[in-house]
Chain A
Amino acid sequence: DTAVSQTPKYLVTQMGNDKSIKCEQNLGHDTMYWYKQDSKKFLKIMFSYNNKELIINETVPNRFSPKSPDKAHLNLHINSLELGDSAVYFCASSTRTGPLGEQFFGPGTRLTVL
């Protein structure tokens, strides 16, 4: 009955590798997001997807690419990982017809690049 779930919870990998983080929501929301939280706990929006269309793409390197096979999933692919990519990545979802702006967050994926 988890609302927003992410896998894996922890990911440790070497520089230069390619990795993916998966996100699923069972809330029936039409918009999903990826946020990055750095070591200083600052949460910053990376992407949002609405009806399979990219709505926001902040100043994120193109090594990061979101992929949404359907409304309930938004996966994050990262190519050529760098040390600076180490952070906690949160997936979130919301609905346009619900309360304005309320987003539900997944448990986060802690990525460590060695």
Chain B
Amino acid sequence: AQSVAQPEDQVNVAEGNPLTVKCTYSVSGNPYLFWYVQYPNRGLQFLLKYITGDNLVKGSYGFEAEFNKSQTSFHLKKPSALVSDSALYFCAVRDNGGSTLGRLYFGRGTQLTVWP
């Protein structure tokens, strides 16, 4: 079965510093990986995805993620954090076969706090 793990419940960084939110995955077959962000009282918003191709994926709001097959990781990164980046971030992997095709498996989420 597919699964993702987000080892950190919380990440705190100062504004202007680089940030990393970690994600590792377990899949059978090719991974289809996603990052979503959730602001308070709002729905999940898509940030970026990895399907195939370049290991460094660029997404919305200046975020990027690095796919590492050997480490089964898909860490979310941003070179310079903003206070407005403070939110809950979810990593997800998509099921890629069988009767559960299309299902997304989410991690528990990582609360990112960027202080001024």
Q: Do A and B interact with each other, yes or no?
A: no
